Amino acid sequence: MRIEAKTLDEAYLKAAEKLNCSVADIDAKIIQYPSKGLFGLFAKPAIIEVNEHQNEALIQKEIEDILPEIKEGLKRLFEKSCFDIDNFEVKKYDEETVFIKIDGADAALLIGKEGYRYNALNYMLYSWINQKYGFKVRLEIAEFLKNQEAMLREFLAPFIQKVKEKGFGKTKSFDGILAFLALEILREAFPDKYVALRDRGDGKYVVIGDRHGDNSGNSDS
């Protein structure tokens, strides 16, 4: 992976951000040193070539290293709560995401009506884990997330067909985790298109279009 920036320091910082690791852990080769040029002309950026395989292994190790700590933190959290939750699973979901599954006698209460408690807990866990460790979170309570995803895939099937015919589209607004699940499903369905999440007063929605023009002014909703 090649990284360009105005200075070498900025290039290494960009690489660390992309790989979610410390600058000191970056394994990279300097391809080009930066140059200011003459009177602002013929300036050259800093270019580094990052060893992705070594850094991917590092990220894998880092995620696995923090899993016991996250699991212990979850146990302490629910020991002090009024919910009867005694089953915690914490594992690596992908290079950027920690998967957490929680279950117990009060799982349904923890989800809440229309998932409002789920959304609050998901936000709280994301804030904790992202700020402390730099990773995203995929939270499952009982089978709530699995069922929501199955329902959403069925709901989005006609929309996906319309986008295949027209080449662009915009979903209705979604609340909480449904917006991020919709984004994930639609990026999977259209890997070669521009697929992004946008904010609206009543929630978030997904726009789909060409990579160099997202056609976001058009709607299939």
pLDDT at 146: 95
The radius of gyration computed from the CA coordinates of the chain, to the nearest angstrom, equals 21
pLDDT at 203: 84
Q: Whole-model pTM? A: 0.67
User: Homologous superfamily of 57-142 in CATH?
Assistant: K homology (KH) domain (3.30.300.20)
Q: Between the CA of residue 146 and those of 28, 102, 117, 182, what are the distances in Å?
A: 39, 13, 17, 13
Give the Cα separation of 124 and 139 in Å (integer): 11
221 residues of the chain, pLDDT tens digit each:
888 988 888 888 888 877 766 676 678 889 988 887 665 566 788 999 887 665 666 565 578 889 999 999 999 999 988 999 999 999 999 988 999 999 999 999 999 988 999 999 999 999 999 888 888 999 999 999 999 999 999 999 999 999 999 999 999 999 889 999 999 999 999 999 999 999 988 789 999 998 655 565 554 55
Domain covering 146-209, topology: Ribosomal Protein S8; Chain: A, domain 1 (3.30.1370)
Q: Are 181 and 151 in contact (CB under 8 A)?
A: no
Domain boundaries, the chain: 2-50, 57-142, 146-209
- The 3-state secondary structure of 170-182 reads ECCCECCHHHHHH
138 SS3 class: strand
